[in-house]
Amino acid sequence: MDRPDRGRHHAGHHRQTRREGRAGRRADPRGPLRAILSGVGVLYLIVTLACAALLLLFLLRPGAARPMVVWGLSALLPLLAAMVVALNHR
């Protein structure tokens, strides 16, 4: 059955959607990872990974650090992870 066009859609809209892709965003020419991570977000990600590695090192070698240092690193890790997610969220 043929429906009359009621003016809801126009050709320019469909061309734009097809060109931009399914999500409606254009691809970033700088690369997919660069499009996801911001500059400050990358810095926080590096600090978070370093904090996690240091905590793992202290947990694998008992007596290498004082208990408050281990407690402080373990308390800081979720805060840093939340900052990484917040800064890299679109």
The per-residue pLDDT for range 47-73, each reduced to its tens digit, is 999 999 999 999 998 888 888 999 999
Residue 75 has pLDDT above 60, yes or no: yes
Residues 6+ apart with CB under 8 A from 27: 21, 35
Asked if 84 and 44 count as a contact pair (C-beta separation under 8 A), the reply is yes
Mean pLDDT of 3-31: 56
32 pLDDT band, cuts 50/70/90, is: low
Q: Which two tokens stand for residue 7?
A: 């003016």
Task: Check residue 88 and give its pLDDT.
Answer: 83
Residue 44 has pLDDT above 60, yes or no: yes
Asked whether the whole model's pTM tops 0.85, one would answer: no
Residue 45 has pLDDT above 60, yes or no: yes
Alpha carbons 80 and 25: distance in angstroms, whole number = 29
Task: Check residue 63 and give its pLDDT.
Answer: 85
DSSP state of 31: -
Task: Check residue 49 and give its pLDDT.
Answer: 96
